[in-house]
Amino acid sequence: MIATNQVVQQRVEKAPQVQTADWVADATNEANVAHDRLIGDYTSTHATYLLGRGIDIDCMLAYHLGAGHAWSRDSGQDEPAIVIPWYRAGQVRALRFRFLAPAGKQKTTSKPSSQFAGALYGGQALTGAVESRRTLVICEGELNAISIWKTSHSSNVDVLSLGSESQSLTDAMVQHAAKFGHVIVWMDKPEVATRIRERIAGAVGFASPEGKDANDMLRLGMLQATIAELRRRACRDDAQREALMWDLHDQHTQYGGLDAPTLAILRELAGDRAKGMGL
């Protein structure tokens, strides 16, 4: 039997030191196989984990999530994990693995030679048009980004994730964010939200209330209204509030409706017109 430290050493030796074309091809294949495995069985342990966190089938498809395994330093063996691909210019540039049941403090790991620095997660789900009419939310954590997308993308909201609070915005990221009509920066810690917000003119900062991140609030049924309220705070004049009202109205009438707290925000924005709008 090979000792655990020998197995780890073998893995390190086999890991590519630079991100070659072969690495991209291998990572792409790994992401695709894992995705097919996940969507091939919505009763699997991996699918059950995601569904339990409010991440539905539409989200799994939009973000090309997968079912796989990854090495855990806490347990010293492969453990079941969600495979989360990061894309840049349409190519897989990183694979994150989120353990279903962490054996210790390590919740995630990544494929060796993955490139997270200077990248934002979630670009494959961006609308990619008319950014001046849309709101961009910048958050931390892939599942938080997916949660926000689930509740709000049909009302002109895009979302990107830094991945972790230690990441910073590059000049190119700031320039891209400046294209959007509004930018909301949601980080777990107030000081991190302030640091990121200050890079983007006019951005609204928000810290996870009582430690509840976007995925927590999705499961509590509070996320849709939270995003709507943050968008209302970001409005600078009546014309922007009017545009937000119609975004929420369209989401309510065309895409399956709003939950009760968000509908209340829509009614407040509509004012005396609410009854005539069927609200």
In a shared domain, residues 221 and 135: yes
In a shared domain, residues 258 and 151: yes
In a shared domain, residues 64 and 149: no
**What's the pLDDT at 5?**
41
In a shared domain, residues 183 and 249: yes
User: Angle 227-151-158 (CA atoms, 0-180°, nearest 5)?
Assistant: 70
CATH code (residue 48): 3.90.980.10
Q: Over the chain, what is the mean pLDDT?
A: 91
Query: Which one has a higher pLDDT value, 201 or 128?
Result: 201
Answer yes or no: are the C-beta atoms of 50 and 64 closer than 8 Å. Answer: no
Among 77, 110, 143, residue at a domain's last position = 110
pLDDT tens per residue across span 20-45: 999 999 999 999 999 999 999 999 99
In-domain check, residue 190:
yes
Which structure tokens are listed for 150?
A: 């689930």
- Per the structure, the complete domain to which residue 102 belongs is given by 17-110
pLDDT tens per residue across span 154-165: 999 999 999 877
**What's the pLDDT at 277?**
86
pLDDT tens per residue across span 82-96: 999 999 988 999 999
In a shared domain, residues 98 and 174: no
* Mean of pLDDT values over 56-61: 97
**What's the pLDDT at 142?**
97
Query: In total, how many domains does the chain have?
Result: 2
Q: Which of 173, 139, 129 lies closest to 159, judged by CA?
A: 139
Query: Which one has a higher pLDDT value, 19 or 56?
Result: 56
CA distances from 66 to 97, 102, 124, 151, 207 (A): 9, 17, 15, 21, 29
In a shared domain, residues 253 and 176: yes
In a shared domain, residues 264 and 135: yes
Residue 69: which pLDDT band, with cuts at 50, 70 and 90?
very high
pLDDT tens per residue across span 203-256: 999 999 999 999 999 999 999 999 999 999 999 999 999 999 999 999 999 988
In-domain check, residue 279:
no
Q: Which residues pair with 67 in a beta bridge?
A: 82
Q: What percent of the chain has pLDDT over 70?
A: 94
Answer yes or no: are the C-beta atoms of 152 and 200 closer than 8 Å. Answer: no
In a shared domain, residues 69 and 187: no
Instruction: Reply yes or no on whether the pLDDT at 260 is more than 70.
Output: yes
* Mean of pLDDT values over 117-128: 89
**What's the pLDDT at 17?**
54
Residues in the chain: 279
**What's the pLDDT at 4?**
40
CATH code (residue 265): 3.40.1360.10
In a shared domain, residues 136 and 201: yes
Answer yes or no: are the C-beta atoms of 82 and 60 closer than 8 Å. Answer: no
In a shared domain, residues 135 and 268: yes
Contacts of 154 (CB under 8 A, 6+ apart): 250, 251, 254, 255, 256
Instruction: Reply yes or no on whether the pLDDT at 261 is more than 80.
Output: yes
